[in-house]
Amino acid sequence: MTFAQKAGEPPVIRAIVFPGGFNWPIFAARRLGFFAAQGIEVTLEPTTDSKHQMAGLIDGEYDLAMTAIDNVYAYNAGQGEAPTRNVADLIAVMGADSGFLNLVGVPGTESIAGLAGRRVGVDALTTGYAFVLLRMLEQAGVGREDVDFVGSGGVMARFGALMNREFDATLLVSPFDAAATKQGFVHLESGLEALGSYQGVVATVRRDWAAKNEAAVTGYIRAWRQAVAWLFDPANREAAIGLLLEEVPQMDPDVAAISYEVLLDPTTGFYSDGAINMDGARVALELRRAYGAPDARLGQVADHLDTRYHAASGGA
């Protein structure tokens, strides 16, 4: 037995994720038996920040992380913020979405250019999503030095701080942006509008673990894709929204309905096939080269992923 498993029970993949509606396919795959049909069980551990998530994955506390592809680049290149016992050798094996990134300002904010001289919340300026924010500001003529950046933690923490007006704008992940705009906050721009293409969340594993557990990796991808297909089926709309409200009980029903339209948009929602967006992955790597610590060890996109597991799962 090479991962968490007891005799007579299905093997368990210990996944660590950021809490929220973007785990909808995992919720559905567990509830509808798609993981079980692949002979696996998936447990979910919520994380408050990427440092805890990535250190836990690299050091073997968890088997799989749903995380930004930039975290894979950063830790593989020795640029990760969290200290680890093991040397990172991570691979992205599945693409989940384009990040659902949206820049949101306090009521009365008129434009991104208007953020010059104001306070903007970030997790940390060394993270991939912060790089997206920096590019959005740059395209609006606002330099890094023109903004007072406020470190405020992960998306849930930033959402709460924005609601309390501890800063004037921040980058939120759907459906937090929907919850904010419902309360009168202003949507300024999406990450896709700014970048054209972007690979956001990926399923990430240790390279050696994946090699020893190929059936589990391919089964996870296959079940995830089946769950997304179920979510996209209009006949399942009410059941899907009900499932989301059960799994995220603090979510407002109106926000859950909006989440359905956003996260299951046929063009910008979850990736139906689970394939990694190669153009978007290149954009994410270019942003790290532009705004992260320069390091030749970043290599190329192909150094940080392995598409054979997706292919073996039946993906296109």
Burial of 53 from C-beta contacts in 10 A (0-12 / 13-18 / 19+) = buried
Burial of 138 from C-beta contacts in 10 A (0-12 / 13-18 / 19+) = middle
Q: Which two tokens stand for residue 275?
A: 């394939």
Dihedral (Cα; 188, 96, 15, 163), 10-degree rounding: 10
- In sequence order, the 6+-apart residues with CB closer than 8 A to the CB of 265 are none
pLDDT in the model for residue 295: 62
With tokens 């059936």, the residue in question is 215
Alpha helices for the chain (secondary structure H): 24-31, 34-37, 50-58, 69-76, 128-139, 155-163, 176-182, 191-195, 207-212, 214-232, 237-247, 253-263, 278-291, 308-312
Cα 314 to Cα 69: distance, rounded to the nearest angstrom: 22
pLDDT in the model for residue 296: 61
Per residue in 201-213, pLDDT (tens digit) is: 999 999 999 999 9
Domains of the chain (ranges; CATH) run 12-98+199-312 (3.40.190.10), 101-195 (3.40.190.10)
Per residue in 141-185, pLDDT (tens digit) is: 999 999 999 988 788 889 999 999 999 999 999 888 988 999 999
Residue 25 contacts residue 274 (beta carbons within 8 Å): no
pLDDT in the model for residue 275: 98
Percentage of residues in the chain having pLDDT higher than 90: 82
Nearest to 35 by CA among 249, 239, 230: 230
Mean pLDDT per 10-residue section of the chain, whose length is 316 residues: 52 93 96 97 92 96 97 94 95 97 97 97 90 97 96 87 97 90 96 96 98 96 98 98 95 91 94 97 96 81 97 89
Residue 27 contacts residue 244 (beta carbons within 8 Å): yes
What is the per-residue burial (b if ≥16 Cβ within 10 Å, else e) of 277-304? beebbebbbebbeebbeeeeebeebeeb
